[in-house]
Amino acid sequence: MKKLLSLILALILCIACISPAIAAQYERIYMFDNYGVFDEIELDELNERAVAIAERHGFDVGFVLSPNITAENTYVEAENFYNEMLARGLYGDLGLLFFFNADAGHISLYATPLAKLNFPEDAISEALDAYNDADTFYYGVMDFYDYIDRHIQPIPTGRLLPRLVDNANLLSSAEHAILLTQLDEISERRKFDVVIVTTRTLDGKSPKEFADDFFDYNDYGQGSDEDGILLLISITDERDWHIFTCGYGITAFTDAGLGYISDRFIGDLREDNFAGAFATFVAQCDEFLTQANTGAPYDVGTLPKAPFKPSLNVIISLVIGLVVALIVTAVLKGQLKSVRKQRGAAVYTREGSMALTRSHEYFLYSDISRTAIPQDSGSSGGGGSSTHTSSSGQTHGGAGGKF
């Protein structure tokens, strides 16, 4: 009996000793320092920072510092390392791995295919700049993590990408958070996806093709008809904008309506006031959806009137009237060169030249002309929405231009 108890205790002790090693082998570790650059406290702090990013955004960010990496195989090593961690269930499909050989100065950033959509190349490059601008390895990695934490796009459940994808980095963190909240609110309330996308590359496509594919292949749209609208802003040399509509969006946003909406935000786009332009777009979408739900979407002849500003318009009218009056008076005065100002009318008659003995007034006739004012029927002249078929075979509407 004593021998049996001794064996059981020995087994418990072995398990107790082995358990930490097993736990360490499979816990979520993001910091790998094969140089010994960081002390244990720094490694723990940096790893905790990466864990916090993973828990908050579902985005795994690993950092590997090793002398066994050459310029030729850095990227391959990074990809293989990440895939190994992925196979072991330690990393997910959304992630980024930073590989660095301090001896040779070789750096490689590997991003999973899904991460490239969620965190574009330009943003990854800026995250690397944040690392390079720091004075020490520790602060460099911390700044790298901080940048990713601020700019990562959260991915809602059931959809590949959020309703705001600012790949061109046109918005500040505060502007991004406010706009995303507005897009989610109107989309959920209307059961209709309102999406804004910015990019610095069209991948060889036209703005219309890019908008079509982005909406179709990223699982946007609500309901069986995939109802939604998407505003694309392309910050290339051409500076394009394009509005995409699908499902009920084709009905609610006619060609005339899209022209009206774009006129409201194009001025802010030209002045690079992107937050203002996007806020206007969201507000207009809400108004147009409200009107469409009445059964009579805004269209040719029924578009909402531009807001009237009484004080400004009155001032402008008074100034214009005063200027016109001064010009007319000056012209008429200039034509009276042979006449001097007189105090009475008697000086213009010759004495004894005219003597009235009797005077009467007679009404002879009147001539009245009437012309009918043409009425605007509001139903003719190219109303409705023009459509096209995208690469996915879906029917879409839309409009675009340059700013």
What digits encode the pLDDT tens for the residues 302-333?
898 765 555 656 677 777 878 887 887 777 77
Q: What does the block give as tokens for 360? A: 């009467």
Do 184 and 133 reside in the same domain of the chain?
Answer: no
> What element of type H or E holds 250?
helix 248-252
Do 295 and 170 reside in the same domain of the chain?
Answer: yes
Do 223 and 101 reside in the same domain of the chain?
Answer: no
Confidence class for position 18, pLDDT limits 50, 70, 90: very low
Do 216 and 143 reside in the same domain of the chain?
Answer: no
More confident residue, 68 or 105: 105
Residue type, 341: K
Residue 334 maps to a domain: no
Backbone phi, psi, residue 210, to 5°: -65, -45
Contacts of 278 (CB under 8 A, 6+ apart): 171, 179, 196, 231, 265
Q: What does the block give as tokens for 399? A: 């409009």
Do 65 and 207 reside in the same domain of the chain?
Answer: no
Q: What pLDDT is recorded for position 182?
A: 93
What's CA 175's distance to the chain center, in Å?
Answer: 10
Number of neighbours of residue 33 by Cβ within 10 angstroms: 18
Q: What pLDDT is recorded for position 174?
A: 86
Of the residues 99, 120, 151, the one at which a domain ends: 151
Residue 16 maps to a domain: no
User: What is the total count of domains within the chain?
Assistant: 2
Answer yes or no: are the C-beta atoms of 110 and 99 closer than 8 Å: yes
Residue 88 maps to a domain: yes
Residue 329 maps to a domain: no
Q: In whole angstroms, what is the distance from residue 317 CA to residue 177 CA? A: 42
**Is the pLDDT assigned to residue 402 strictly greater than 90?**
yes
Do 117 and 242 reside in the same domain of the chain?
Answer: no
Strand 60-65 to 387-389 pairing: unpaired
How large is the C-alpha radius of gyration of the chain? 36
Of the residues 117, 151, 185, the one at which a domain ends: 151
Q: In whole angstroms, what is the distance from residue 86 CA to residue 198 CA? A: 30
Of the residues 125, 151, 177, the one at which a domain ends: 151
In degrees, to the nearest 5, what angle opens at C-alpha 378 toward C-alphas 374 and 380?
A: 95
Do 172 and 129 reside in the same domain of the chain?
Answer: no
Range of the domain at 205: 164-303+394-402
Query: pLDDT tens digits for 156-206?
Result: 445 567 899 888 889 988 899 899 999 999 999 999 999 999 998 887 889
Backbone phi, psi, residue 187, to 5°: -65, -40
Answer yes or no: are the C-beta atoms of 69 and 104 closer than 8 Å: yes
> Could you give the percent of the chain with pLDDT greater than 70?
73
**Is the pLDDT assigned to residue 91 strictly greater than 70?**
yes
